[in-house]
Amino acid sequence: MTRNDFTHAVRRLAREQDRVATVAQLAEVGVPQSRLREWCRPGGRWQRPLPRVVVLQPGPLTAAQRSRAALAFAGYPQVPAMITGVAGLALHGVAVAAPPCGLPVVDVLVPSERRIRTHTWVRVHHGRGLPVPDAVNGVPVAPVVRAAADGVRESIDPEWALEVVRELVTALGVPAAALAAELGGAVLARRPAVAALLDTMDSNRRAASAEPMARALVARSGLRQPLWRPTLEFDGAFLGSPDAYWVRDGLVLDLGPGTRRGRLESLGLRVLRVAPAAFTRSPAEVVAALRSALAEGPYGPLERITALPGTR
């Protein structure tokens, strides 16, 4: 192959692979080993940031080039590999995963049988039955739930882990239960704050989905109508925002963990906790419990509690 031939081939590699290539690829297009060594010397036109990986430019690498270089080090595309962890979250557009100073470590997920280990700034994760990657700007990236699990597992910053969970569940709509399942019991046991947040978010989601069923059941049963999602004040100070409240009776219907149940009960109000599944599995029992609680009331210092109407 003539010099002109490999020059054009190298330009094509640079264009198609964001200037990241492997030593094997350069050998295949005819770049002599002597030329490779010369151009990769300190101050040369190329650089070798990782074993078997060449970046066809001098100077700092972009975040995208670091991801491509990490994949090339792992053997991609000959070996299945994908970006995961914090770098994967950043590629997915998770805001909290993109620090202004760049990512010091790039996580790569490879098959368990792949004999490769963590090297300098590439952290290697081995897994069985790898997920199908998402393609982000031409880079294979682990699904956002798996990337988050690997990132949270490796993080030494508990506040960052909580922020990742919040953004995924509230902004991206990732089910809290799916994220908890991907993290696994061992990780959640080491991170009780993350486990508690996921449990709260999952309970809130189930409570929100149960509210329409609760409204329909109360309407069909002939019970007095409560205020739905009111704001309660005790002597003018905020007390809570329960799912439903019967003003004349001091009865609270609690569909989830967000009602500050202990504070309400400490004032003598009756808090009836109903699991969301009960509205479909045993609606008659729910009506009976509500009817009984209303008959036994009123509860608490009603004259000191103000209920401001919420949503209808």
For 283-296, the pLDDT digits (tens) are 999 999 999 999 99
Assess whether pLDDT exceeds 70 at residue 93: yes
pLDDT score of 96: 87
- Could you tell me which of 48, 36, 40, 83 has the C-alpha nearest to residue 63? 83
Torsional class of 177: left (φ above 0), alpha (ψ -120 to 50), beta (otherwise): alpha
Assess whether pLDDT exceeds 80 at residue 61: yes
pLDDT band per the 50, 70, 90 thresholds, residue 49:
very high
pTM for this model (two decimals): 0.67
What distances in angstroms separate CA 219 from CA 212, 214, 216, one per listed residue? 11, 9, 5
DSSP run (H or E) holding 126 = strand 122-127
Q: Which range is least confidently modeled, 92-106, 136-150, 269-283?
A: 92-106
pLDDT score of 59: 94
pLDDT score of 1: 46
Assess whether pLDDT exceeds 70 at residue 205: no
Assess whether pLDDT exceeds 90 at residue 107: yes
At which residue do the structure tokens 């439903």 appear?
Answer: 244
pLDDT band per the 50, 70, 90 thresholds, residue 141:
very high
Across the range 157-173, mean pLDDT stands at 89
Dmax over Cα atoms in the chain, in whole Å? 95
For 244-285, the pLDDT digits (tens) are 999 999 999 988 654 456 778 889 999 998 887 788 889 999
